[in-house]
Chains A and B, each alone.
Chain A
Amino acid sequence: MPVQGYMYPNEIELAWSILIVLYPFITGLVAGAFILASLERVFHVDSVKPTYRLALLTALAFLLVAPLPLQMHLGHPERSFEMYLTPHRTSAMAMFGFVYLWYLMAVLLLEIWLDYRRDIVLLSQSTKGFQRFFYRLLTLGSSNISEGALRIDERVGYVITVVGIPSAFMLHGYVGFIFGSVKANPWWSSPMMPVVFLFSAMVSGIAAVLLLYMFSTWYRGKTIDMRCVDTVARYMFYTFLIDFSLEMLDLVHRIYEADESFRSLDFMVHTRLYLSQVVIQIYIGTLVPIGLLALTQLFRLGERTRKRIYAVAGSLVLIGVFAMRWNVVIGGQLFSKSFLGYTTYKIGFVAREGLLPAIALTLLPFAILWVLVKLLPPWPDGESLRPASDAPAHAD
C-alpha cells in the first residue's frame, strides 16, 4: 500500500529523489577527505603523510561530481546558472554555487597545484609529446622550483589549508543547514543538523581515504604503512564517537520532548525506516564499526587483523553514512506534514532520477580519481615520478 493514513494530495510523490541523497553523501566525502589532509599540513600529524596527496585528489574527484546529481535532478538544468547571476539572498540553496566555487577554485585546486608544482615542473621536463605539452600547461608558466620558490609555495599552501578547514566546514555544514532550516519539516528542522552532517562527513571522508589508501597500496604491490593507517583509523574512531554522540543526543531529545510530530516520526522509524535507519544506519553502519575500531584501541592485535578490521569498519562506515543521508532525505518525505499519514518512495531504474544514474554518479568520482592519480601520482614512494635518487614526492 503506497499511502497509509492521510497525506496532503501533493505530498504523495516525493519531491527529492536518490540523487539528492547522493549530493550530501558526495559533498561529505569531499569535506572529510580535505579535513584529513589538513591534519598533516596544519596540525603536523606526520604519520598520516602517506595519505595527504591521495586525500586531496579524492576530495577533488568527488567535488567535481558533487553538483552533477543536483544538476540532473533540476526540472530545468539549463537555468541553473541563474543561481550565479541572480542569487536569491535569503535562500540557503542559492549560496551553494558560491560556496562550491570558492571551495573548488580558491581552496582545493590552488592547494593541489601548489603542492604538485614541483612535480609538474619536473614532469614537464622529463616527459615528451602531448604529455609534455599538458604538464607545461599545468605549470601555468611558472617553472621556478628553486628552494626559495618552493618555500613560498609551502607557506602559501599552509595559509590556504588554514583557510580551507573552515571552508570545508562551511561546505558541509551548509549542506546540513539546507535541511536543518526547513521549519515545515520536523524531521529536518534542527540546529543540530549542520553539526551532525559535518561530523558524519568527516567520518565518511576519512573512511574513504583510508580504504582508497589501503586498496591502492595493495594494488601497487607496496607495503601498507601501518603507523599511517593506525593513526587514520584512530581519528576515524574518535570522530565517529563524537558523531554518534551528537546523533544520539538529537534522538534522545526528540524522544523525551515528544512534540506533535513525534508519534508520526516514531511510527516511521519503527516501520518504513526500520531497515535503513535502525538496522543499516545504527546497527551495521555505526555500532559494529565503532565496536570493531574500539577493539583495535583496547587490544594489541596483529597487523593482518588490524588491516582487516580497518577495511571492514571503513566499508561499514560508508554504508552507514550513506544510510544516514538516505534516512534524512528520503525519510523526511515519507510522512505527511499533517502528521496523519505515510507514503512510499518508488525508485525507477533507468530513469532520469533512477538507480542507474545514481550508481553511475557514485562510480564517476572513482574514474576521475583514477585519471587524476595517473596524471599526478600521489604516492609517497614517488613511484613513476622521478629517478630513485631523487627526493620523495612530497619532500618539503
Chain B
Amino acid sequence: MNISRRQMLILLPAAAVAWKAVLAGTPEASPNYKMTEHWWSMLVDIDKCIGCGNCVRACATENDVPEGYFRTWVERYHVSDYDLANPVVDSPDGGKHGFPPIPETGGRDFFVPKICNHCADSPCTQVCPVGATFMSPDGVVLIDKEYCIGCRYCIQACPYGCRFLNPKTRTAEKCTLCYHRITKGLTTACCEACPTGARQLVDLKDPKDPIHEFLRTHHVQVLKPHLATGAKVFYNDLDGSVR
C-alpha cells in the first residue's frame, strides 16, 4: 500500500487522537446502579484508628491527589487532664506517613481521621455561584470539574477544611467518597486500605446495613453539630475536644 505524504500528514494526528482514546480507556459502566436506592456516608470508629496513614496514602494514589493537599487526613489529638478544651493537635503531612512517637506526658492521645462530611445541608453547595458543587441523589457532595470557575468560595464556606484548589486543574477539589468505586459495588480506597476497620462506608438507605444497629447501640456524633450542616460522617466515641 502506498501512502502519499499528504495522506500521512492527515493520518498521523488522527492516529494520535485514537491512541489517546485507547490509553484513556473506556469508563466502566455501572448499569445496575440506581442513585435513588442509596444514601451514602461513612462511619469512623476513633477507638480503632492506629494512625498508620494507609488511608491517606491510598486516597492520594487512587484519586491522584496533588502533593501537599488532602482529600482525607488523620489528626493526632493530645488532651491534657488539666485543659480539656484546648487539645494539642498535629498531623505531619496529613498523617500520610504515620506519626512520630511523642513522650508520655499524661492525658489522652487518640487519632481522628478526617474526610468530607458530605453534609446534607452543605454550605459549600449553597455558596457555589454556578452550581458546580452539588449533592447527588445518593447523598454524595460532588464537584463538576468542567463547570467549576475556581472562585474558592466553597473552600471558605467549608467549616471542616476539606476543600482545596487543585493547582493543576485550578478547580475546587475534595473527597468524592470514591464515587467511581462505590457506584460499582466497591468500597472507598481509604476504607479498603484501613487495617483495623476504623472507617466503614455505610449506606443509610440499605436496611441490611449494620450501621443502623451500630447507631442504635453506640455513642455516635458528627463534627461541629452546632453549625447544623447535616454532616453525615459519623464518629464513634468522639471526644468533645475534637474540632
A residues within 8 Å of B by Cβ? 6-11, 13, 15-16, 70, 73-77, 79-80, 82-83, 86-88, 90-94, 96, 178, 182-185, 332-333, 336-340
Contact = CB atoms under 8 A, between A and B. Distances in A.
15 contacts: A16-B156, A75-B172, A79-B130, A79-B148, A79-B149, A83-B149, A88-B129, A88-B130, A93-B151, A93-B153, A183-B123, A184-B227, A185-B156, A338-B161, A338-B243
Please classify how large the interface on chain B is, using the bins under 10, 10 to 19, 20 to 34, 35 or more: 35 or more
A340 B243 contact: yes
Contacts, number: 124
A90 B171 CA distance: 20
Q: Which of B160, B161, B164 counts the most chain A CB atoms within 10 A?
A: B161
A8 B161 contact: yes
A15 B227 contact: no
A184 B93 CA distance: 24
Interface of B: 68-70, 73, 75, 86-91, 93-94, 114, 123, 125-131, 147-153, 155-165, 169-172, 227, 243
B159 A183 contact: yes
Contacts of B149: 74-77, 79-80, 82-83
Given A75-B148, A75-B149, A15 B127 contact: no
Interface SS of A by simple majority: loop
Given A15-B165, A183-B227, A336-B161, A90 B126 contact: yes
A80 B132 CA distance: 12
Contacts of B130: 79, 82-83, 86-88, 91, 94
A188 to B, nearest CB: 8
Contacts of B158: 184
A207 B243 CA distance: 43
A8 B114 contact: yes
B161 A15 contact: no
Nearest to B127: A91
A96 B156 CA distance: 17
A93 B124 CA distance: 12
